[in-house]
Structure 1
Amino acid sequence: MNKRTFLLLITSVSALGGLLFGYDTGVINGAQFYLSKYFELDAAMKGWVVSSALVGCFVGAIVAGPLSIKIGRKYSLILSAILFSISAWGSGLPSMLPESVDLLVMFRIIGGLGIGIASMNAPMYIAEIAPPRKRGNLVSYYQLAIVVGFFIVFLATYTIGSNLTEEQNLAIGWRRMFWSELIPAGLFLILLFFVPQSPRWLAMKGKKKESLRILTKILGAEEAQRESVEIEKSLQKKNTGVKINYFSKGILTIIVIGTTLSVLQQFTGINAVLYYGADIFEQSLGFGKEDVLLQQILLAFVNLIFTFIAMATVDRIGRKPLIYIGSAGMLLGFLILGVTIQQQSLGILSLIGVLLFVASFAMSMGPVVWVLLSEMFPNNIRSVAMSVAVAAQWAANFVVSQSFPIVTESEVNNNAFWNGSLPYFIFIGFIIFIVVFTYKFIPETKGRSLEELEDIWDVK
């Protein structure tokens, strides 16, 4: 197997963690439309069922840092695959046991633990094996896998839902949607046993020969030797025997910047659209129930196509220009959607607004944030810093997911002025802030090695 094929293979396998992330996120979208009616959930409980997995995601991301240091990126991903499988199996069990929302929530949290661990380790693993000139593209495979997961699960939920009556969907359809996740979860678990450990993690553990062997398979002998020397220099520079002070000015600054960027990805409102898309299409945009899942497939398809655009351009035009371009598109998309809802002129223009927002996110804040988080932190703090940034992202996701249905159904949002459009104008405010924050605090990182990027920050 040549080095290019080997690199693409291990990148694709590790990126499957993103596919499970997307699948698990998407399956609740289709399923909650029916299970909310089955359990007769009010707005707060609907938000809790949807966002309960995010509690697990937050905890999973917190433990992912020390876990990846101790057992490595590979075995952390294996653990996440096991948790995915348990969650997929258990989420449909209320049909066999006393009907309980609590049981569903428990298994959703277990799945969230898996997502939290994978969302930190998968992009970090890819960044640590990728050559600098290809790193943006290869880390984008993780985001591609997320949106492929969305697309597949929307096809699966549409197929399951469209072949059952509404009564059958209320009774068993949403459970089958959860169980369908067992297939990709099992595949992810099996394939992970065939990928190597991260060479940078091996080097940090003192396993220099094994690290060089893997680098050689990925990069070739000459480039691997150079990369190995750079890694060793970086580790020697940091390993002075002094315990890392994460509250020192330099380290705290970079962690705060990365964490803020990570949180802002969620405050665009992307997961309000992805989690509650069925409700948005039915209630805000006026589509009939029979069209809801089909509209979700269109949304997922747009998400997929524009992620390919990001992958093709992130290493050419850079990270920051993509954020600027995407932010302009997201702002315009939500402005169109917000105004049409506010003016009660719902229709094709409203749908165009939603799709423009999703397309713009898919080519910017979706993949670019994962790329930046995986490459901006120095070697010796990468696991902990990414763990904090990703955990904060899941906390922000929880806030958005829990609050969106409450704000949507609030009296303020449904008064004569807003007419249901308030959430989208709130998101527009955050999108404007993203542009300002990126301009002031985010460096351009394309084409530089992970070790070269350490010189950008005054980390002591």
Structure 2
Amino acid sequence: MKKGVFLLLIAAVSALGGLLFGYDTGVINGAQFYLTEHFGLSDALKGWVVGSALLGCLVGAIAAAPLSILIGRKWSLIISAIFFTISAYGSGLPELFPQTVSMLVVFRIIGGLGIGVASMNAPMYIAEIAPSNIRGRMVTYYQLAIVIGFFVVFLATYFIGNELSVEENIEFGWRRMFWSELIPSLLFLILLFIVPKSPRWLALKGKDADALAVLQKINGNEIAEKEMHQIKESLNETNDGVKVSYFSKAVFVIIAIGTVLSMLQQFTGINAVLYYGADIFEKALGFGKEDVLAQQILLAFVNLVFTFVAMFTVDKFGRKPLLYIGSAGMIVGFLLLGITLQQENVGVLSLIGVLLFIASFALSMGPVVWVLLSEMFPNKIRSVAMSVAVAAQWAANYIVSQSFPVVMGSETNNSAPWNGSLPYYIFIVFILVIVYVTYKFIPETKGKSLEEIEEFWK
């Protein structure tokens, strides 16, 4: 297989893993109105059905580390693909099966397990197999695919819903929305059997010949030999018969830095804006509830365009410059939104603020965090460290999702001087923390092999 085709295959796997992340997370948003009517769900029960997948995400991310070490990145992704497939079919069980709310929640949690395992293993697999000069771009395929997954599932649920009457959607249309995920999940499962195992994992298991063969397919003989030597040196330094202590100062600091960076991705407020931004659009442009499609397309388009920008600049400009630029843009965006809310003058400037924030996030914290997490940890601890960082990110996601509406509805936020702007100023504080953490603790990894990055921590 030619090198270009080989790398294209890896990119396809990363794309489908990320697309399913976005698809499985987003499909419930399109189906929830109809299944709420079908089951007669209370607000509390609807929240549990919609949010239950987060529990699976958290557990899946924690379980991903031992799974990845034991059976490898490739087989962990195969298991995640199986979870996605079971969840897609089970969430929309045909009418001849007695589908219940409890069963639906179980299948949503199974889908969450797939997301948790894939969100840790997919970017790590790509980073471990991609050439260093294009590794950043290849890992950003993962974030790009998440964005595309959200957009595709939105279109799929929209068109499925439009083909049927409201009564038909309530009766069985929501089932078809879940089943639409079967197409990408089965394709993901099939492609995974074609791609190779991670050379770093193979070397970790003592399968040096297999690891070298994979590296030769990617880089050619000369570079492969050099990279294999670096991998072996890295493993030998920590394989002297002493078990890795994750609570030793050196190891703990590395994991802590990655975990903080991962959580800060959520504390920017990205999901608060994506999940609860409809009111802002309604006030700014006069959109009604029936114009949700136009709002989502606008957000998705900006998100998609600037994820492409990140993909083609992350290996050219570097990781840290993009984080600085993106942080500045996110701060300005939220300042525009916050000030217009405080002045009770919500309009076009508010809209520009939201879109500037989305664009800046898509340029920086969205893709770059996944790139850094997949490459900053040393070979010996990468699985466990990545698992901790991703699990913490899901926990942060839950915290923001639950606390944002509470803060938004608080008396303090809805009275002077805040007038609804308080959450956005809180997010600005966290974005300033991102700038400090990036400057003080994050290494520039552009163009370096994973083993060269490892030297930074010594």
TM-score bucket (shorter structure): over 0.9
Question: 1:424, 1:25 → 2: CA distance?
Answer: 24
Q: Which residue type is aligned with residue 379 of structure 2?
A: N
Deviation larger for 412-421 or 142-151: 412-421
Give the fraction of aligned pairs with identical amino acids, expressed as a percent. 73
- 1:292-303 maps to which residues of 2 (within 5 A)? 292-303=292-303
Shift of 1:401: 1.8
Q: Which residue type is aligned with residue 120 of structure 1?
A: M
Q: Tell me which residue corresponds to 1:249.
A: 249
Question: 2:38, 2:327 → 1: CA distance?
Answer: 38
Q: Which runs of 5+ in 2 are unaligned?
A: none
Q: Tell me which residue corresponds to 2:379.
A: 379
Question: 2:421, 2:405 → 1: CA distance?
Answer: 12
Compared CA separation, residues 429 and 95, structure 1 to 2 (3 A): farther
Contact 1:47 1:403 in 2 (8 A): no
Contact 2:280 2:351 in 1 (8 A): no
Q: Tell me which residue corresponds to 2:31.
A: 31
Q: Which residue type is aligned with residue 123 of structure 2?
A: P
Query: Greater relative contact order: 1 or 2 (C-alpha under 8 angstroms, separation 6 or more)?
Result: 1
Compared CA separation, residues 105 and 94, structure 1 to 2 (3 A): farther
Q: Tell me which residue corresponds to 1:445.
A: 445
Question: 2:46, 2:359 → 1: CA distance?
Answer: 27
Compared CA separation, residues 355 and 394, structure 1 to 2 (3 A): same
Contact 1:62 1:387 in 2 (8 A): yes
Question: 2:229, 2:357 → 1: CA distance?
Answer: 44
Shift of 1:404: 2.7
Question: 2:40, 2:322 → 1: CA distance?
Answer: 42
Question: 1:403, 1:62 → 2: CA distance?
Answer: 23
Shift of 1:104: 2.8
**1:140 and 2:140 matched:** yes
Q: Tell me which residue corresponds to 1:364.
A: 364
Shift of 1:450: 0.6
**1:353 and 2:353 matched:** yes
SS in structure 2 of the partner of residue 195 of structure 1 = coil
Q: Which residue type is aligned with residue 288 of structure 2?
A: G
Q: Tell me which residue corresponds to 2:65.
A: 65
Q: Deviations over 1:390-422 (max 9, x none)?
A: 110111111112233333344444446544433
Q: Which residue type is aligned with residue 242 of structure 1?
A: V
Question: 2:357, 2:89 → 1: CA distance?
Answer: 33
Shift of 1:314: 0.6
Question: 1:238, 1:37 → 2: CA distance?
Answer: 57
Q: Tell me which residue corresponds to 1:202.
A: 202
Q: Which residue type is aligned with residue 226 of structure 2?
A: R
SS in structure 2 of the partner of residue 214 of structure 1 = helix
**1:272 and 2:272 matched:** yes
Contact 2:284 2:347 in 1 (8 A): no
Q: Tell me which residue corresponds to 2:176.
A: 176
Question: 2:156, 2:299 → 1: CA distance?
Answer: 14
Q: Which residue type is aligned with residue 223 of structure 2?
A: E
Q: Which residue type is aligned with residue 396 of structure 1?
A: A
Using structure 2 for the length normalisation, give the TM-score: 0.93
Q: Deviations over 1:15-39 (max 9, x none)?
A: 3111101112222333345555666
Contact 2:123 2:142 in 1 (8 A): yes
Q: Deviations over 1:314-344 (max 9, x none)?
A: 1111111101111111122222233334444
Total equivalences in the alignment: 458
Q: Which runs of 5+ in 1 are unaligned?
A: none
Contact 1:231 1:451 in 2 (8 A): yes
SS in structure 1 of the partner of residue 287 of structure 2 = coil
Compared CA separation, residues 46 and 376, structure 1 to 2 (3 A): same
Q: Tell me which residue corresponds to 1:329.
A: 329
Q: Which residue type is aligned with residue 401 of structure 2?
A: S
Q: Tell me which residue corresponds to 2:55.
A: 55
Q: Tell me which residue corresponds to 1:104.
A: 104
Q: Tell me which residue corresponds to 2:74.
A: 74
Contact 1:258 1:389 in 2 (8 A): yes
Q: Tell me which residue corresponds to 2:237.
A: 237
Q: Deviations over 1:271-319 (max 9, x none)?
A: 2233345566458875212210232122112111111100111111111
Using structure 1 for the length normalisation, give the TM-score: 0.92
Compared CA separation, residues 162 and 277, structure 1 to 2 (3 A): farther
